[in-house]
Amino acid sequence: MKKVHIVTDSTVELTKEDIGKYGIHVVPLTILINGKTYIDGVDLQPEEFAEMMKGSAELPKSSQPAAGVFKELYDRLGEDGSEIISLHMTGGMSGTVKSAQTAAEMTDSNVTVIDSMYITHALSFQVMEAAEMAKQGKTVAEIVAHLNAVRKKTSLFVVVDVLDNLVKGGRIGKGKAMIGSLLNIKPIATLQDGVYTPVAKARSHKQVVAHLFKAFTEETTGKIVRGVGIAHVNGLAMAEPLKKLIEESGVKDVKLTFATPVISTHTGEGAIGFMYYTD
């Protein structure tokens, strides 16, 4: 029976129950750390990776799935004439969406590839909306139009607690990092058009939580909050107080998860990602 299949990648934050319920296909990225390659979510779990990263002198490297992996999946899913929406993490942080686009050009199946412009829970918002609409029998065009609207009403903040991985990744110099560490500066950034964009600095976990909650309150007042997610890398010192404030404001289903290895590589120890979207 023809349907619309939803494909995504392993930077998404989904439960096994949601993946099974909607038949979502998750293609894993790979992680290279300490000279060994792991498959994200298969033979490497988030907490385990964070411990390994602490002892790694070099920044771990993530690799997008090969185009051939996507093509093989697209061929199989589309062999009965079904259509496919392949929805992935921002192209500003990974070549995953380009790999998917290459595969879409190679396959005979009807594939629509979308750059979500986001990561982790903010990617999940779009994947779950697409999966629910596909289950309802909506067309690819209807789903794509809705996802465009969801993307515009999504906000994402990233807070880095220690600056080591930003230095290793070349995002800031060692001099700036040394000054930042001495001043205990915690950069707050958004994903602007899918790219890491600094927007503020805080000097304590308490200031970070206050800044993020203020932004959330200002952006969601008078609107219906459709989803809130917090991903962390041993960052509960910020994540738990923020979750408590949001729940006390009336939003009950705040998802709190340990960030996937690909995200942890970019942010480092103690970081959090805070995401929400509205109607």
Q: Per residue in 160-198, pLDDT tens?
A: 887 554 444 444 444 343 333 434 678 898 987 787 888
Amino acid 187: pLDDT: 86
pTM of the model: 0.91
Amino acid 30: pLDDT: 95
Indicate the SS3 state at residue 80: coil
Amino acid type, 260:
T
Contact present, 63 and 30 (Cβ < 8 Å): yes
Counting as low any pLDDT under 50, the low residues of the chain are 165-183
Question: How far is residue 190 from each of residues 158, 198, 220, 273, 275, measured CA to CA in Å?
Answer: 6, 6, 17, 9, 10
Amino acid 179: pLDDT: 37
